[in-house]
Amino acid sequence: MKTFSIADIEIRNRYALAPLAGFTDYAMRKLCYDAGAGLLYTEMESCEALCFNSKLTIEDIKNTKLDKANCPDGKLALQIFSGKEESVLKSIPICEEYGEDDFLDFNCGCPVPKVIKQHSGSYWLNREDELISLLRKMVSISSKPVIVKIRIGYSSIMDIVPLCKRIEEAGVKAIAVHGRTRSEFFSSPVHYDVIKDIKKNVSIPVIANGEITQNNFLSVFDDTNADAVMIGQHAIGYPKIFSDMIAIEENRPVEETTIFSQLNDFRKHLDLIFSIKDERSAASIMRSFAVNYVKGFSDSKKYRNLLVHCSSKEEYLSAVKMIEDENSAR
């Protein structure tokens, strides 16, 4: 299997789990690691929350120690975001005090309005000089290689290559590129040609992101020449996407996805999330995943409605058993 390296740190393969707010906590990261993901990203963590010693955010950072203990062959990027230089620089020592990660990632790609209002996320594409100045300072004080995640423009596709060259010159060791602008959010076709142009003009690794699935990832590699691909939405409730892609790359048969295999992963997810969160929080988080775990199967609407009304681990397990029993009888 092909691998790639960031700052001389080898990643076991070319498949990365994207940072997804509300989703890529330790539980999802562990499931995706077990399925084969080589590079894992945390949820994006607020620098302001870190500076104000937010208990929940600090707990997220501390949970990176679980990755180190239980995902020994994987590499982890801790992603932070803020629109304020002072908050970013103050948060780095806090991340290093509580976390155990391999890379420090700075979010310059989030298109969500509440992040944009803070002049953060993809708004940084409107603040090029400030961004480069900040990245230089981050590189100078971080003990971990600094990497970034960007989009290809704000209101429209920008001349992104010069900015990517400046990012590399600032000392950043890799760039993950979502091939859409901020205004395109997640709905328009992905501009893989722009990612290809970036890759052609920088010497650091480029990770392609945007609508990548087990059905198109090989063509994305061909179309972009990217060093790796990053999977986000399509991994929610389907960690098996990573083992599917690895099997395809190695010309092996892809294991069939059944309601039983999905429920088995759902049960593993339950065990993980309830081990790191209180019952109320864990139950709420699992409701966000339930739809995708049963999506596409017969009676999926009925199963979804059953799962999203669970409020404890016992209720979830009872619902899973009911679904399994119903399908075994068919």
- Residue 322's CB: how many other CB atoms inside 10 A? 12
Three-class SS of 79-117: EEECCCHHHHHHHHHHHHHHCCCCEEEEEECCCCHHHHC
Residues 6+ apart with CB under 8 A from 328: none
Among 51, 95, 110, 164, which one carries the catalytic annotation? 110
Q: Maximum CA pair distance of the chain?
A: 63
Question: How many other β-carbons are positioned within 10 Å of the β-carbon of residue 36?
Answer: 21
Task: Please confirm, yes or no, whether 110 is among the known catalytic residues.
Answer: yes
Q: How far is residue 301's CA from residue 156's CA, in Å, rounded to a whole number? A: 38
Give every CB contact of residue 124 below 8 A, 6+ residues apart in sequence.
83, 108, 130, 131, 150
> CA-to-CA distance for 178 and 284, rounded, in angstroms?
29
| Residues recognised as catalytic | 110
